[in-house]
Structures are given as C-alpha cells and as structure tokens.
Chain A
C-alpha cells in the first residue's frame, strides 16, 4: 500500500470517526441542553429516594386521674396487602396462600390478581401485625405489605356520637373528629436520599419532620359516660322505646360530663352502618329537637318567681281546663287540682296553673326570660350540628303561644339546651357556657385550656334556691318520686311530651318521656336530662325517664363518693 492509499484510508477513517463523534456530541447536546429537565428527571427517578412520613393524628382523650389520660380515639399501625400481578410467578398458589389470611375466598383473590397489571388497589387494608407477619413469612413474590396508621377507638361504642370517626381518606367526620379535624390532623414530612441499582439506600439527604396533630382532652367522664350508656340501653329495652338520650353537665363549669345516646354504633366499624341508618352518626343530644313538654315548667316558674309575681307558697284555685282564644287547654289527666300552691303546680304538673303564671308574665316577660335561658338559640360550642330548636319570634306570639309554651308545647329544644337551662337554676342563677373540649395539647406540649365562662345571670340566687326546693318537692311529693336517691336531696321535673305529626297536630299513640334535674341539692354538682323516645311499655315519664334518672344519679353519687346531704329514712 503506497502512501497515498494509506492517506486516503486514514481520511475516510477520520471522517467516519468525526461523524460518529459529531452524532455523539449532537445526542449529548440534545440530552443535556434541549431535554435537560426530562433527562435530570429520568436520572433522579433511578437514584433519588424520597419517603413521605405521615404525621400522626392527635388522640382524643379523657382524664383518667390527675396525671394521666385514657384515649377514646388513637392510632394503630396496621398493614395493607399490595399485589403487583405482573411480578407474580404462580397466581393460583399465591391466591391459595393469601386467601385464608386476609379473609377472602381463593377465587376472589385469584380474580383480582389474574392479570398483568403493575398496580391494582390493595387487596386488604387494616390487617393486624400478626396477620402481616404471617403473610411476610410466606415470602410471596409480587406481594408487598405496606404499613399504614389507622384510627382506632379502644372503648368501641363508648361516646361514639361524641367522637365521630375518620373515613378511609383520613378525614374526620361527625363529632369531635369532624369538628376539630384540622387540629387533630398532623402534617406530613419527607426524607430524601440516594439509592443504588438494587434500591438500597446509599446516602441520606434532606429531611422535613412530620408534625403530629394535637391531642384533644374532653370533659367527658369515662365511667359516668359508660354507666349512662348502659342505663339508657337498659331503659330502652325495658320500656320498649325507640331511642333515647342522656346529658349530664357540671353546672358550676359548664363542662359536659356525659352525652349518651341510643341507638349508637361502633366507630371502628363505621362503614358497616347501613346507608339508611346513617342518622345514627348524628348526636341527638345536640341536634335532635323535640317539644320538651312539662320540663319547661320550672323555667317559666323561675321567671315568675324572679320577677316577684309569685312565691312558692302563693295559692290559687285551678280548674281542669282553661280557655285561651278559641282553644281549651286541659290538665294532663283532665283533672281539676283546685287550690294549689305554686310548688304544687309543679308537683302536679298542672298545665292550667302554668297558663295562669304565663298570663302574669305576659308575652314580653316570658319570651325575654326564655331567651335568656337559651331557648331558641343554638349553644355556642364550636361543634358542628349543634342546633338551637325553635321558639317563635315575639311578633308571632299571642295568648295561645304564651300559654302553650309555658308547659313546653309550641317550642322545641334539644336535650343539651334543657341541661344548660337547668344548669343555670342549679348554679345559683348563673348560666355557664357549655363545653366538651377541656384542653388542646399540641405536639410541643403547649396547652390551650378552656376556661369556664359565665354567660350571665338569668335569675337571682334567691330564686335559684326557691326553685331548688320546689323541684325537690316534685321528687318527694310529685311525679318525680322514682328519681329520688335515698340519702340525697334531688330536684327535678318530669315531662311527658306529645309527638308532633309532620302534617300538624299530635300523635295519639306516641310520646316522649323526659326528666330534668340536679343533685345533690345542697351543693349541686350534676345536672342531668334523660329523654326516652316513644316508650311503649309505659305512658308517663314518671315511670320511664324518672327511674332512669334516679338509677344514674344513685350510681354517680356512689362513684364520686359524695356524702349524703339528707338523713336516711
């Protein structure tokens, strides 16, 4: 080969090499300059590691003793079973091994994994650690266990409607979970790093710590709540009632001690509640209104005593009925009580006597007074679904409105509202703001405490004392005998309310029995309202709500070791 030939071949080789180099340079330019973002993204996806760290949802707790709390809602680590069908070698065998552990049939599992997809929804969620361990031991290819934090309620159904629940997306619904969702919810954090080709972490990068949600401390007393729920359930069974509620409050602070409702549900299994039964999620103590009937009488009586219009000993003769406008108002049993003191008006639950008192108060006196007691206004509790019932505006009042409202008809309230009104009577005439959330403790331990707040004086201390004695007389001599607790002074009033028909008027065969009162009268520490809806085994509240009140009051006084304030008979 001569020099020229060699030179020619070298030039060709150099040209080809130059072209290859040029194409490489071009490709490099395309990847690093034109498609820079995409290239970096692709590269990062291969080595970058990012792990989302979930902040724990705050607990909902109640005081257990002076130093510790008991969780009514907390979190538990559970596991999801994820399957990558494409990576499974033997689908039949995988289905066979998994099925019994996750509570599915072999065919169900097989139907779900018999495809070539890279992702299918988790086969099962909320698996316990024991089950997850057993699945892990199987070492099944294409089966992954993913830890998850789930909300659990260790006391099962206890205070379910107070607590609410957390749905599958981690959002709080109903009760405290719904109302304080943002306070309870934690903020997610993340951790970055680099991984090798096998996915092993080789370097740790930035980290933003997850923030846990705040702990919410309720004013509920767990033992009293439990007993109230049990007593209510027993009463519903015994009196063949449809439903019921019990509200117990501390009249001195406004703190709610118990909110029991029946029927109820288990928030751990909220999704098992049938769709037509979803009303069970609501808290009827706060949101269900009814015409309170005779438990309204002591409130109207207190207004009249406070204005000096009557005294407990004031006497008057009453007939079996009274005509107001074109309507005749009768006593409950169409019986004339004749000469009665005002105390006896309450003891006998005399509607006619109450109409006489309402006339003395006048429209303005009764309306303004009831407004002060919170009737017709939703209590301010920073919770959703707390309703305020209905009381007609003053301009719509006439003699009949005034008369019927005096014995609890033509007006609607919730059990909580009645408990608040009776709390004012029990607390020397001073009404306290009700609260359910006692404290909020954030992740750093900073405490926000609810301070008891006075809403104002509704009646004088003297009136409050007089009403206490009148209500005690109802329990000793009147319809409230079954609410008595031996050794203790208890005051209260029964209410047997008719049920309003949607089309107007009242049902003949339905009623709501209630009892509202407080104890021990010497130094009232508890106010309680018991409401039993449509008891079929008894006609009057004195045989349904009053004994339930008495049973719960008796237990609370023993449990709290409150000394008797009256000599034992």
Chain B
C-alpha cells in the first residue's frame, strides 16, 4: 500500500514522520501556548518599562544631586567673592593696621618705558 502524506502533517494533527513519536496539539494546548507567550511578552514589557522608569528615576536623582552640588559650589563661590570684596579687604586692612602707600617712586626715569 502506498502511504498518503500531505507535507509534514497529516489529517487529525497527527504528524507522521518516520522514526519519531507522533505529537498531537489540541485546541487547549494552542490557547495555553498563546497565553504563555502573551504573559511572557507582557512580563518582558513590564520589566523593560520598569527598568526604563528606574533608570529615568536614577538619572533624575543623579541630576538632583548634581544640582545640589552645583548650588553648593555656587554658594562657596559667592562666599569667596564676598571675602574678596573691597569692603571686606578694607576692613581687614584696618584690623591688620595696614597703611596705604603715600607715594610711589619709579626706578625708570620720567618719560622712559
């Protein structure tokens, strides 16, 4: 008798391959596989989305920290400028009993460079 085959699959979802056990995929199995795939996809999406959110929050937090450090730096810079202000220097000079220069004598003769 000549066996009748239709590609790899035969009627009733029975796979007839020489030397292999026949596997049958029913309607329930298809649904389960579909559901599992969907679940995996959903999980992947949630994981990725959650990871992206976490990264964004990390970036946000790092940026906040950077802002805070910039603010600290600005504050220190301002304090430095306050200490360099001419009023502060004048007061310090008075406290240190420094005297302003009364006259300057240049070593170069008048008119020369």
Contacts and interface: CB of A to CB of B under 8 A. Distances in A.
The answer to whether A and B belong to the same complex is: yes
Interface of A: 70-71, 74-77, 129, 152, 154-156, 158, 193, 201-204, 222-223, 226, 486-487, 522, 558, 561, 563-568
Nearest to A554: B103
A561 B86 CA distance: 19
Interface of B: 53, 56-57, 59-60, 71, 74-75, 78, 81-82, 84-87, 101, 103-104, 106, 108, 110-113
7 contacts: A70-B84, A75-B74, A76-B74, A76-B75, A158-B86, A558-B101, A563-B113
A71 B82 CA distance: 10
B53 A155 contact: no
Contacts of A75: 74
A156 B78 contact: no
A33 to B, nearest CB: 29
B53 to A, nearest CB: 5
A130 to B, nearest CB: 11
Contact of B75 (A129, A158, A561, A568): A129
Contacts of A156: 85, 87
A7 B53 CA distance: 54
Interface residues of A, dominant DSSP: mixed
B75 A77 contact: yes
Contacts of B81: 70-71, 74, 154
A154 B56 contact: no
Where chain B touches its partner, the secondary structure class is helix
A71 B86 CA distance: 12
Contacts of A74: 78, 81
A201 B101 CA distance: 62
A563 B75 contact: no
A202 B53 CA distance: 7
A222 B110 contact: no
A76 B78 contact: yes
Nearest to B104: A558
A320 B85 CA distance: 53
A486 B56 CA distance: 70
B110 A566 contact: yes
A567 B112 CA distance: 11
Nearest to A205: B56
Nearest to B58: A204
Contacts of B56: 203-204
A203 B55 CA distance: 10
A201 B63 CA distance: 14
B88 to A, nearest CB: 9
A155 B87 contact: yes
Given A70-B81, A522-B111, A558-B101, A77 B106 contact: no
Given A77-B74, A563-B108, A203 B86 contact: no
Given A201-B57, A201-B60, A522-B111, 4 more contacts: A486-B103, A563-B112, A563-B113, A564-B110
A159 B60 CA distance: 41
A226 B87 CA distance: 9
A155 B86 contact: yes
Contacts of B87: 155-156, 158
Contact of B106 (A76, A223, A563): A563
A319 B84 CA distance: 58
A154 B111 contact: no
A70 B100 CA distance: 23
Contacts of B53: 202-204
Nearest to A56: B74
Contacts of B106: 563-564
A561 B74 CA distance: 34
Given A76-B78, A77-B75, A222 B86 contact: yes
B59 A567 contact: no
A203 B56 CA distance: 7
Contacts of B75: 76-77, 129
A71 B112 CA distance: 36
A563 B82 contact: no
B110 A568 contact: yes
B85 A155 contact: yes
Contacts of B103: 486, 558
Nearest to B101: A558
B92 to A, nearest CB: 14
B82 A154 contact: yes
Nearest to B86: A226
B110 A487 contact: yes
